[in-house]
Amino acid sequence: MKQAKSTVSKAPRGAGLLGVTSSAGSSVLGSSALDSSSLGASHQEAQTPLQKAVDQYLIHLRVERGSSEHTIASYARDLRRYSTYMATLGVIDPERITTAQVRSFMRELAAPTVPLAGFVAGFEAGEKDNQNAREAREAQEEAAESLALMIASESGRGTGNGRAEKGRVGQPEKAGAPEKETPTVEGSPSLPLPLGSNSIARTMAAVRGAHAFWVSALIVPTDPAAPVTPPKNVKRLPKAVSVEDIQRLLAVPDRETATGLRNRAILEFLYATGARVSEMLNVDIDDVHFEGTLTDEDGNQVTLPGYVRLFGKGNKERLVPIGSYAQKAIQDYLVRARPSLVAHGKGTAALFVNGRGGRLGRQGAWLILKEAAEAAGLSSDFSPHSMRHSFATHLLQGGADIRVVQELLGHASIATTQVYTKVTPEGLMEVYRMAHPRAHERG
Tell me, what's the pLDDT at 423? 59
Choosing from 60, 96, 336, 385, the catalytic residue is: 385
* Residue 237: predicted pLDDT: 62
Name the β-bridge partners of 292: 304
**Predicted pLDDT at 246:** 93
pLDDT for position 325: 94
Q: What is the pLDDT of residue 190?
A: 59
The residue annotated as part of the active site, out of 52, 81, 313, 389, is: 313
Under DSSP, is residue 293 helix (H, G, I), strand (E, B) or coil?
strand
> Residue 8: its pLDDT value, please?
35
Q: Which amino acid is at 142?
A: E
Active-site residue, selected from the candidate residues 163, 208, 388, 389: 388
pTM over 0.85: no
- Rounded CA gap, 278 and 182, in Å? 30
Q: Tell me which residue of 31, 12, 115 sits closest to 70, measured CA to CA.
A: 12
Residue 334 burial (C-beta neighbours within 10 Å; 0-12, 13-18, 19+): middle
DSSP state of 166: T
- Contact between residue 259 and residue 96 where contact means Cβ atoms under 8 Å apart: no
Count CB neighbours of 386 within 10 A. Answer: 22
- What is the per-residue pLDDT for 441? 67
Q: For residues 57 and 45, what is the distance between their CA atoms, to the nearest angstrom?
A: 19
pLDDT attached to residue 226: 94
What string of DSSP letters covers 406-419? HHHHT-SSHHHHGG
* Predicted pLDDT of residue 159: 37
Round to whole Å and give the CA distance between 157 and 176: 15
- Amino acid (one-letter) located at 10: K
Question: Looking at residue 279, what DSSP letter applies?
Answer: H
* Alpha carbon distance 173, 71 (integer Å): 6
CA-CA-CA-CA torsion for 24, 26, 32, 35, nearest 10 degrees? -20
pLDDT means per 10 residues, the chain with 443 residues, are 40 38 40 38 67 94 85 91 91 94 92 63 39 44 46 41 40 38 44 82 94 94 93 72 92 94 96 92 94 83 88 86 94 95 90 93 91 90 85 88 89 79 66 75 59
Instruction: Describe the crossing of helices 197-216 and 49-63 by its angle, rounded to 10 degrees.
Output: 90
Q: Confirm whether 346 is a catalytic residue.
A: no
For residue 330, the model assigns a pLDDT of: 96
Please choose, from the candidates 86, 104, 105, the residue with its C-alpha nearest in 3D space to the C-alpha of residue 94.
Answer: 86
Catalytic residue among 211, 276, 359, 362: 276
Going by C-alpha positions, the residue among 391, 142, 439 that lies closest to residue 277 is 391
| 372-384 as b/e: b if 16+ CB within 10 A | bbeebebeeebeb
Q: What end-to-end distance do the CA atoms of the chain give, in Å?
A: 63
248 counts as catalytic? no
Question: Is 388 tagged catalytic?
Answer: yes
Contact 272, 388 (CB under 8 A): no
Burial class from Cβ neighbours inside 10 Å (0-12, 13-18, 19+) for residue 33 reads buried
**Calpha distance 413→405 (Å, rounded):** 11
d(CA 76, CA 26): 12
Please state at what angle helix 384-397 crosses helix 402-409, rounded to 10 degrees. 160
Q: Is 411 a catalytic residue?
A: yes
Q: Give the residue from 349, 312, 317 showing the smallest Cα distance to 334.
A: 349
